[in-house]
């Protein structure tokens, strides 16, 4: 049989996975995965750029580690789910527009545009996120702002998509996949329901495999299991390093003194004086925005004690400035809640050793439940705000 | 349902507009990366998946075996996709010697080996079970 090559029509696709029953279920799972991504991503954004109404708890100390781990892992799970969903609805790409009916045609065009935005944005988030965790930036835009902006595009486009598909989706989700036995017995032979369930099971299973293959970046008991975790938990002195002292062009002056300033006062403190203050050791994670995390025993002076010793007011936000002169993370502002927490340390030691230059010698900030980029290293100055 | 859909429309349009407004300053550089995914998928990946599916249908006639092999192919493709940014590192990555600290080619190879070993085991077991079932049937005849 010879057929002329032509653009396929939706009816040409006969596999049983091309069905609203499958698309709606995969859509629901994708909605959950992207929803988790959006929620945790928004949290991470607000922690780094807090609006006035926002506050973030300091306990549990692993809170940010968990939310950001959920963020990257639900993104990883969404990769096979997105591909499965697009496979399921691929025939709909070839739906012919109702050219003779202007009103239906414009509705069709609007829906197509919203679906295009949805798919573009969904791919963009997964691809750029995946490259970012590998610390690879083969593009011209600034990743954090672009990833944040497109997250709103995904969220909005998903809502529009659900608004359009709600009747189909509800009917599909109400229809059980498993046909009841009498019906199945009457029509033996090709059983679509078996294949549909197999397709869905495979999609979910592969999403699970993808998570298992990467979750070791942040789940301790999976460290040795995940072959594609992008980071090990090991590194100099037991913790990985994102930015080295050389990359940040750090030169510690020979007579380094920490400067503490507050409205109406100023005091400086030398390294031996800092080391002589009553120390405290805390087990806290470095939890990176890229989803990896690793815990260590940090020893140093609680920031709240240091401020009291200096005679500075407490219970206020504190700005930490690094010896690093340029770069986005040369300074960070510790919210009042974190600045008052007795576990927030100006650390001098890590796992029993003096901080190495790459870990922030002479001293670094380590606070519970915060992104790693805000744990300022090579601290030079503390400024208590009013 | 009408009210729910209307609400979804309004919220969705607002969020989409907000995202577009946020993206505007970077739209030029981001556009190829926005269009790239669907373009590659619709023109290349999906037809390729269809062809592989057709070929698999011809080569493996047993439905259960075919499902397992398809699952192995999907899992492999997903692992490969996840590994791309780890294996292919253009020079724009910041010059920091401490960054890529694991053996990613080895990790990918191990992941694929585990997936296919598991599927091989499933197929062997399924074959053995099938054989026993047919034996028993012919015995009882
Ligand atoms: C990021 C998330 C999602 C993406 C990328 C996505 C993508 C798509 C695409 C490209 C289509 C084909 C559009 C068309 O019919 O022309 C589609 C159809 C559909 N989607 Fe989604 N979707 C997502 C989430 C959802 C959610 C949350 C639901 C609701 C449960 C859902 C339910 C459906 C339904 C019922 C169809 C119609 C299938 C058919 O008529 O054959 N989707 N989706």
pLDDT tier, B11 (very low <50, low <70, confident <90, very high otherwise): very high
Same domain, B69 and B116: yes
> What phi-psi label fits residue A315: left (phi over 0), alpha (psi between -120 and 50 degrees) or beta?
left
How many beta-carbon pairs under 8 angstroms link A with B?
A: 214
Same domain, A94 and A218: yes
Domain boundary among B23, B38, B59: B59
ipTM of the complex: 0.90
Residue B60, number of CB atoms within 10 A of its CB: 16
What string of DSSP letters covers A211-237? HHHHGGGT-GGGTTT-TT-S--S--GG
- In whole angstroms, give the CA distance from residue A141 to residue A139: 6
From the CA of A95, how far away is ligand 1's center (Å)?
14
Q: What is the pTM of this model?
A: 0.91
> What phi-psi label fits residue A168: left (phi over 0), alpha (psi between -120 and 50 degrees) or beta?
alpha
Please give the residue range of the domain that contains residue A379: 237-384
Q: How far is CA B31 from CA A33, A123, A159, B16, B17, in A?
A: 24, 12, 22, 16, 16
Same domain, B94 and B125: yes
**DSSP-H helix ranges across A62-191:** 63-89, 102-133, 143-174, 181-186
Same domain, A166 and A249: no
Same domain, A265 and A167: no
**pLDDT given for residue B17 in this prediction:** 97
Q: What is the CATH number of the domain that holds A373?
A: 3.90.420.10
The residue written with tokens 């077991």 in the block is: B125
Inter-chain residue contact A162 with B8, CB threshold 8 Å: yes
- What are A138's two structure tokens? 């083969």
Same domain, A125 and A205: yes
* A1 in a structural domain: no
From the CA of A24, how far away is ligand 1's center (Å)?
6
Question: How would you label B76-94 residue by residue, b for 16+ Cβ within 10 Å and e otherwise?
Answer: bbbbebbbebbeebeeebe
Question: Could you read off the pLDDT tens digit of each residue along chain A, which spans 386 residues?
Answer: 456 788 888 888 888 888 899 999 999 999 999 999 999 999 999 999 989 899 899 989 899 999 999 999 999 999 999 999 999 999 999 989 898 999 999 999 999 999 999 999 999 999 999 999 888 888 899 999 999 999 999 999 999 999 999 999 999 999 888 766 555 555 555 578 888 999 999 999 999 999 999 998 888 888 888 888 888 777 788 788 888 887 888 888 888 888 889 898 898 888 888 888 898 999 998 888 888 888 889 999 999 998 889 888 988 999 999 888 777 778 889 999 998 999 998 998 998 888 888 888 888 999 999 998 889 988 888 898 88
Same domain, A217 and A246: no
**pLDDT given for residue A319 in this prediction:** 92
Mutate to test the interface with B, among A92, A159, A191 (most CBs of B within 10 A): A159
Alpha carbon of A256: minimum distance to chain B alpha carbons (Å): 26
Same domain, A215 and A281: no
Same domain, A196 and A267: no
Same domain, A201 and A268: no
* Number of independent structural domains in chain A: 2
From the CA of A27, how far away is ligand 1's center (Å)?
5
Mutate to test the interface with B, among A7, A26, A117, A124 (most CBs of B within 10 A): A124
Same domain, A174 and A272: no
* A29 in a structural domain: yes
Residues of A in contact with B31 (CB under 8 A): none
* A228 in a structural domain: no
Same domain, B51 and B105: no
Q: Which residue has the higher pLDDT, A73 or B85?
A: A73
Inter-chain residue contact A227 with B23, CB threshold 8 Å: no
Same domain, B79 and B99: yes
**What average pLDDT does the segment B107-128 reach?**
91
Is the minimum distance from the CB of A160 to ligand 1 under 6 angstroms?
no
Same domain, B40 and B54: yes
Please give the residue range of the domain that contains residue B52: 1-59
Taking a C-beta distance cutoff of 8 angstroms, is the pair A133, A215 a contact? no
* Number of independent structural domains in chain B: 2
Q: What is the CATH number of the domain that holds A52?
A: 1.20.950
């Amino acid at each position: 049989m010879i057929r002329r090559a032509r653009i396929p029509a939706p009816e040409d696709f006969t596999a049983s996975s091309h069905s609203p029953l499958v698309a709606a279920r995969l859509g629901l799972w994708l909605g959950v995965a992207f929803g988790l991504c959006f929620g945790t991503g928004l949290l991470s954004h607000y922690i780094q750029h807090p609006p006035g109404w926002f506050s973030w708890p300091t306990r549990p100390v692993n809170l940010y580690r968990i939310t950001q781990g959920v963020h990257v892992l639900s993104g990883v799970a969404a990769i096979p789910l997105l591909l499965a969903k697009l496979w399921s609805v691929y025939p709909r790409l070839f739906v012919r527009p109702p050219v003779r009916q202007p009103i239906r045609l414009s509705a069709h065009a609007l829906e197509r545009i919203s679906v295009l935005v949805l798919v573009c944005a969904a791919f963009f988030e997964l691809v750029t996120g995946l490259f970012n965790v590998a610390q690879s930036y083969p593009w011209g835009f600034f990743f954090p702002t672009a990833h944040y902006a497109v997250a709103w595009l995904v969220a909005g486009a998903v809502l529009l998509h659900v608004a359009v598909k709600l009747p189909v989706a509800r009917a599909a989700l109400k229809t059980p996949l498993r046909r009841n036995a009498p019906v199945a017995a009457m029509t033996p032979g090709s059983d679509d329901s078996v294949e549909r369930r197999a397709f869905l099971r495979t999609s979910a299973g592969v999403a699970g495999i993808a998570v298992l293959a990467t979750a070791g970046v942040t789940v301790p008991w999976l460290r040795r299991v995940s072959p594609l975790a992008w980071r090990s938990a090991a590194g100099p002195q037991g913790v990985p390093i994102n930015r080295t002292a050389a990359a940040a062009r750090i030169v510690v002056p020979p007579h380094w003194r920490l400067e503490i300033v507050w409205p109406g006062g100023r005091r400086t403190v030398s390294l031996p004086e800092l080391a002589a203050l009553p120390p405290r050791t805390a087990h806290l994670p470095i939890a990176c925005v890229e989803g990896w995390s690793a815990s260590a025993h940090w020893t140093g002076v609680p920031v709240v004690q240091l401020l009291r010793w200096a005679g500075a007011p407490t219970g206020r936000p504190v700005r930490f400035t690094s010896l690093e002169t340029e770069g986005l993370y040369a300074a960070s502002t510790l919210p009042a809640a974190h600045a008052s927490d007795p576990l927030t340390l100006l650390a001098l030691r890590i796992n029993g050793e003096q901080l190495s230059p790459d870990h922030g010698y002479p001293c670094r900030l380590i606070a519970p439940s915060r992104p790693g980029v805000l744990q300022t290293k090579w601290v030079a100055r503390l400024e208590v705000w009013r | 349902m009408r009210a729910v859909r209307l609400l979804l429309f309004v919220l969705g349009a607002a969020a989409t507009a907000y995202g577009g407004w946020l993206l505007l300053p970077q739209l030029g550089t981001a556009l190829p990366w926005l269009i790239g995914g669907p373009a590659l998928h619709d023109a290349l990946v999906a037809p390729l998946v269809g062809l592989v599916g057709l070929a698999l249908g011809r080569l493996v006639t047993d439905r259960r075996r075919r499902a397992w092999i398809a699952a192995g192919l999907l899992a492999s493709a997903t692992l490969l996709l996840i590994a791309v940014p780890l294996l292919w590192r253009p020079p724009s990555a910041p010059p920091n010697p401490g960054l890529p600290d694991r053996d990613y080619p080895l990790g990918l190879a191990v992941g694929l080996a585990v997936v296919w070993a598991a599927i091989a085991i499933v197929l062997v077991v399924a074959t053995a079970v099938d054989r026993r079932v047919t034996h028993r049937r012919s015995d009882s005849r």
